[in-house]
Structure 1
């Protein structure tokens, strides 16, 4: 019997209405930015799934919708068998203890008026009945685990006294102090110096081994995702276009968009030519008919303008591309 996934996302959609002109309103026409459109994805116990794609692909909206920080337009979200899609605020609060997020910006996510101890102790106060001394002890423990040592020197400091890397370690400590089953990391190292990124990534892996959480890791940086992820999902303009093991995605990319991303990796430019793609056409709510990538795709076929390809399994991983679906051969 297959193992029940920790997270099961099916046909998830998140649309944002676009302000339209008087004529459009008069005839009842409403346009939408389809930030997440019909995305299905599962996450197994202690698995790391990386979500990659360029800016505007819907990565961050996807994970924020999964946590109901954004309200879904449609589809379903199940976390440890519980349906979160239409859960009440009370029900959601019970699950927030077990599902946490690390945000991208280490400067905006910490209250400058609260000490490190106060920031990390806040989720403990919300979900655990601990005495003050116990709060201090647990906070010191998690600071030690995220590499801020000796912890006692950081407990009563303020964010303004910390570097960017130290602030992000505090953010991570706050996210894992409740020992969650699900951790979402939304570009957690993108605003840090390259010299600091490797240390944060190693620390996250060590915490995963200790706590045993599953993780969705969002990034536009494919080399970083390759280091942390068991599987990689590639998003383009709100849709998942490829999904497979990290090694398979890197070594055998099938979707033309994924091929372009992989070809840009510095470590492989000597054996693969860089693929230059045209600029994305149209505004976010002005999607081309059929495949959303077709106006940039070097392999576009006539069928790409007529239908939207679904994810189909091809050679052990999933790809949404008619090149691999035995549909048509005429390029345009």
Structure 2
């Protein structure tokens, strides 16, 4: 890809205030959830960036913040050369015409009182001044485009008259009807039968090729994201721990967490080595010092509990945040290529959105 990326996320943080105990408040300590913590990502025009991680890794918060459904605590979200964090309400409205989302649950996303025509026409009514005939023509064209054809058979149906796969196609039609530059896909297959998932994946691939939008595909399922993504970013407790091309991540994972995710993928021969990670402590008040993964890491070293490894980008198109792949040197209690584990005085933090589940890979 040439030129500047379509999306350039720099130093993004999203923190939430957490419920504090009596003694924590008495000591004046601020308790917070670092759902997204100092995260950098880019998405080039026309490419698909896959973001993977287990529940609680910060994926949903990343989506909501990137689309400015949530305001970031710190950082920049640069879209087509402009920081959307500085946008006025009018500018934000214009941005949302260019950035659309497919939500996870097609059963909850569609208004049961609106027909398919009304659901797909709604974004056009919000952003475009079209006559009824123009509206009708655009909706019909888009429904045919997503495989709901002939469109006339679907226009006046209500959601409860559709199958799960048909509902998700309506949601996709509603997302692309404005011809966006960025399409965010939030676990779009998780509520569908396996028999329908491949059809939706092929549809998204064709639509991207025909319309040229960039796609931000977020999931916990590595077996899916390896099929759709050009690049993959692996998240753990609010941080990106590894980035690379889809082939690099799946064929040669570097970070111990990524290795565990890849090891969970099924194979025809069953000869892949299994990596079992201990279940994380269910403790919202824990204060993880050093690398956030080290309490579960099978390769943890003493320095892992003392400093946070930075993303090392010494390899082309590859970044890994792990001391196993850093040249570590001692100096004043810190390590080369690290960020300090705690420079915030008396603050106490928890680094999970929610207690992570014990899953380690594909569902």
TM range (shorter): over 0.9
CA distance in 1, matches of 2:85, 2:273: 44
- Structure 1, unaligned stretches of length 5 or more? none
Asked if residue 82 in structure 1 is aligned to residue 82 in structure 2, the reply is: yes
* 8 A contact 1:15–1:36 mirrored in 2: yes
Cα distance in 1 for partners of 2:86, 2:277 equals 40
CA distance in 1, matches of 2:158, 2:108: 13
Q: Distance in 2 between matches of 1:211 and 1:249?
A: 27
Q: Which has the higher contact order (CA 8 A, sep 6+)?
A: 2
Mapped to 1, the partners of 2:86 and 2:310 lie a distance apart of 26
1:246 aligns with 2:251: no
- Residues in 2 aligned to 1:314 and 1:249: alpha-carbon distance in whole angstroms: 16
Q: Distance in 2 between matches of 1:91 and 1:283?
A: 41
Structure 2: gaps of 5 or more residues:
331-363
Between the aligned partners of 2:137 and 2:18, the Cα distance in structure 1 is 49
1:211-236 deviation per Cα after TM superposition (whole angstroms, max 9, x unaligned): 10001100111011011000000000
Partner of 2:155: 155
**Separation of aligned partners in 2, 1:243 and 1:98:** 26
Tell me the TM-score normalized by structure 1. 0.96
Instruction: Specify the alignment match of 1:129 in structure 2.
Output: 129
Q: Quickly say closer, same or farther: Cα 1:170–1:279, change in 2 above 3 A.
A: same
Provide the residue aligned with 2:228 in structure 1.
228
Matched position secondary structure for 2:107: coil
Question: Separation in 2 of the partners of 1:68 and 1:140?
Answer: 30
- Kindly state the Cα deviation for residue 8 of structure 1 after the two structures are TM-superposed: 0.3
Moved more, 265-274 or 292-301: 265-274
Q: Alpha-carbon deviation of 1:70? A: 1.3
Report the more deviating stretch, 181-190 or 281-290. 281-290
Render the CA deviation track for 1:48-89: whole Å, top value 9, x for unaligned: 000001011111110111001111111100100111113222
Aligned to 1:33: 33
* 1:137-216 superposed matches below 5 A: 137-216=137-216
In the alignment, what sits opposite 1:283? 283
Please state how far the C-alpha of 1:126 moved relative to its aligned partner: 1.0
So what's the TM-score if we normalise by structure 2? 0.88
Aligned to 2:21: 21
CA–CA distance in 2 between the matches of 1:99 and 1:38?
A: 23
Q: Quick one: distance in 1 between partners of 2:63 and 2:298?
A: 30
CA contact (8 A) 1:263 1:269 kept: no
Contact 1:17 1:31 (8 Å CA) reproduced: yes
The aligned length equals 329
Q: 1:256-302 CA deviation, whole Å, 9 max, x = no partner?
A: 00000001111277342110010012435534110010000011011
* In structure 1, C-alpha distance between the alignment counterparts of 2:285 and 2:78, rounded to whole Å: 28
SS of 1:267 mapped into structure 2: coil
